[in-house]
A and B are shown apart, each in its own frame.
Chain A
Amino acid sequence: MATEVRATPQQSDGQSREVLLDVRDLVMFFPLTRGIILQRRVGWVQAVDHISFQVYKGETLGLVGESGCGKSTTGRAILQLYKPTSGEVIFKGTDLTKLSPGEMRKMRRYLQMIFQDPYASLNPRMTVGSIISEPMQIHNLVPKNQRNERVQELLETVGLNPYFANRYPHEFSGGQRQRIGIARALAADPEFIVADEPVSALDVSIQAQIINLLEELQEQFKLTYLFIAHDLSVVRHISDRVAVMYLGKIVELADRNSLYDDPLHPYTKALLSAVPIPDPVVEKKRERIILTGDVPSPINPPSGCRFHTRCPYAMDICSKVEPRFVDQGGGHYVACHLYPGCTP
């Protein structure tokens, strides 16, 4: 299936790369209803609107955007935690959207998730050991008598003391809990992990520990990540390729270096210029593109290009015609009328 050869700086081995996950025209609309007994549908929240991208085996695809842009919804819709409105999510040749709940449950061991909030995502009444062994039990992966051993092994892998298996989540700090969440994700021996803001609830010194851990595990277990975050510096550090979302659309997708060194979409440029840099000398000299206004509502998104209401380069056509998502060379995709091919 993978016919394109896309060289990224880290993996330019010249071989065509295997597509692990292929998202095609994914749409996720949530109904807006009014009334208590007779619920009338009064509109849709257009959280994710016709997005397509591929994730290659062994890579980390970063998904960035501001709150409400649909990045978490995308992650959840891929894992079928929401039933997508339409579109296909093809994982190793199987379209996940067409699977029955039972079949999907069997697939889940290959697709795991790490959640943002390490306080809310662990059951406070279960011991760490039972939290981590639950996936093994559900998927019947490890014989019962070996599960404890495997739990201890996993705890060690994520940098925790194996002796912690009998403790409860409240006894741990945020960073340690996030490690437990990671151990749980690994317990099912997955191939693909959606990490939804895994470090944004953590302090900076702990963030770096978790990022390093995720990178080590990727190497060790040949994992593929979809890394969802709003922190552009973190995404740049961890990702091979990066997709930028705005109001339910992917506006730009490129390998890391070309996205950060040479951003094309005006939104990406504004986003990058808004990130404060921890260096007073650099900060003084920087010119910021300050966007006016807020992100419009996804219930009633702007016509044409969704960014045109805040875009400093907006032209007449932008409010009328939706730009196409076109490769500008070297796998650098952008959807903006400023670039050739994007105007249909």
Chain B
Amino acid sequence: MEPLLDVRDLRTQFFTQDGVVKAVDGVSFNLMPGETLGIVGESGCGKSITALSIMRLIPSPPGKIVSGEIIFEGEDVLKMSDDEVRSIRGRKIAMIFQDPMTSLNPVLTINRQISEALELHLGMTKSQARQRSIELLKMVGIPNAEQRVDQYPHQFSGGMRQRVMIAMALSCNPSLLIADEPTTALDVTIQAQILDLMRNLQAEHNTALILITHDLGVVAGMTDRINVMYAGHIVETAPTEELFANPKHPYTVGLLNSIPRLDAPRKEKLNPIRGLPPDLIDLPDMCPFMPRCDYAREKCGQKNPPLMDVNEVHRSACWFWDEVSLAGPTGKREGGVTANDGD
């Protein structure tokens, strides 16, 4: 089967006064139709920039997609003209943003905002679009859709706004939906509602989903496969169950060990990853995680490891992946290494 999306060696950089920020630095992955891919990482790791690059929404200047290919349904998005991109953006590829408060236009009714895409991409008339908007609002579980459709965003709660965003994103039945931290701004009970809704709608419409989040709990329940990103690179990729059961990159292990789990026996101490993520300006050719890593050795400082095969479906960018396990390096690292930010 042909992949729906094939990202090859994507490099997105920001040219700032302080230097060139390599926000995404050689990222490659693909996505099958109907598949759910999680992209996990901390702030600044390049996960949102990857998504924005796919949508060609990088603000330029200062940003620029320096090289790479983004093949979507057989065509390279990066080679398209602006008009061509506009014709797939919203129709074939849709995006849900983190903050439902700022991603809706406060001075337009919900009807206007959903109808816009319907009229533009599907050529509907105003009244058809309105009818469809009401159906979409019903589909995402908004009560009194007939009345609500004429209201403004401020009349909706955060969870309801995110439902509206989902309705908008799905309005043209896209084949790829990118959700960038869709539930981070929401409370847990509302988060559960929204994730449930996304899961059902995705199954119904067979939409491929890229779910970007920092919450390992959310990706665990939603995704088929996960890319872990760190400092602009994918450092590990594996099917979800394999990644959680058998992580092979020290950063993934660090993330899994540093979060308290609701269902696990309470630990006396958490095991944080020491130090801070690196500055993305002028990164030398070395493993970017090395200064925080318990497995670090001389080789790590000499060359940045590429993604290496652990097995057919699992790849890790660690020179010593075969030594990495959830238990940590033998003989080292016991209890919480005391916090030690900065230099």
Contact = CB atoms under 8 A, between A and B. Distances in A.
Interface string A164-187: 100000001101100100000000
Given A270-B189, A278-B244, A208 B271 contact: yes
Given A205-B42, A280-B220, A66 B341 contact: no
**Most chain-B CB neighbours within 10 Å: which of A204, A230, A294?**
A204
B92 interface: no
A66 B342 CA distance: 33
Interface stretch (A22-30, A102-110, A141-149, A211-219): A211-219
Contacts of A172: 342
A272 B274 CA distance: 29
B192 A288 contact: yes
B218 interface: yes
Given A280-B221, A290-B196, A234 B342 contact: no
A230 B186 CA distance: 11
A6 interface: no
Given A203-B214, A278-B217, A294-B190, A210 B339 contact: yes
B262 A275 contact: yes
Nearest to A213: B339
B304 interface: no
A33 interface: no
B241 A280 contact: yes
Interface bracket on A: 35 or more
Q: Is the interface of B mostly helix, strand, loop or mixed?
A: loop
A237 interface: yes
Interface in A266-305: 270-284, 286, 288, 290-292, 294-295
Contacts of A206: 272, 276, 341
Contacts of A281: 241, 244-245
Contact of A274 (B189, B245, B259, B269): B189
Contacts of A286: 221
B214 to A, nearest CB: 6
A161 B254 contact: no
Interface in A89-121: none
Contact of B220 (A175, A204, A276): A276
A159 interface: yes
Contact of B258 (A161, A205, A260, A295): A205
Given A161-B342, A276-B221, A278-B216, A234 B272 contact: no
Contacts of A256: 266
Nearest to B268: A215
Interface string B230-274: 000000000011001100000000111011111100110111111
Contacts of A11: none
B189 A271 contact: yes
Nearest to A173: B276
Interface residues of B, number: 51
Contacts of A161: 342-343
Interface in B198-223: 214-218, 220-221
B224 to A, nearest CB: 10
Contact of A203 (B42, B262, B270): B42
B341 A204 contact: no
B221 to A, nearest CB: 4
A277 B192 contact: no
A176 B42 contact: no
B327 to A, nearest CB: 16
Contacts of B87: none
Contacts of A205: 42, 254-255, 258, 272-273
Interface string A225-269: 000001011101100000000000000000010001000000000
A210 B193 CA distance: 30
A16 interface: no
Contacts of A212: 269-270, 272, 336, 338-339
A73 B164 CA distance: 30
Contacts of B1: none
A306 to B, nearest CB: 14
Given A206-B272, A278-B216, A294-B190, A237 B339 contact: no
Contacts of A8: none
Contacts of A274: 188-189, 191-192
A189 B221 CA distance: 44
Interface of A: 66-67, 159-161, 164, 172-173, 175-176, 179, 203-213, 215-216, 230, 232-234, 236-237, 256, 260, 270-284, 286, 288, 290-292, 294-295
Given A66-B189, A280-B220, 15 more contacts: A66-B188, A203-B214, A205-B255, A211-B260, A212-B269, A233-B259, A236-B260, A272-B262, A275-B217, A276-B192, A277-B261, A279-B261, A280-B240, A281-B241, A291-B189
The 8 closest A-B pairs by CB, nearest first: A276-B217, A208-B272, A209-B339, A283-B221, A237-B260, A278-B216, A66-B187, A208-B258
15 contacts: A66-B189, A67-B187, A161-B343, A175-B276, A205-B273, A207-B259, A207-B272, A208-B273, A212-B338, A271-B188, A274-B188, A277-B263, A280-B240, A292-B193, A294-B159
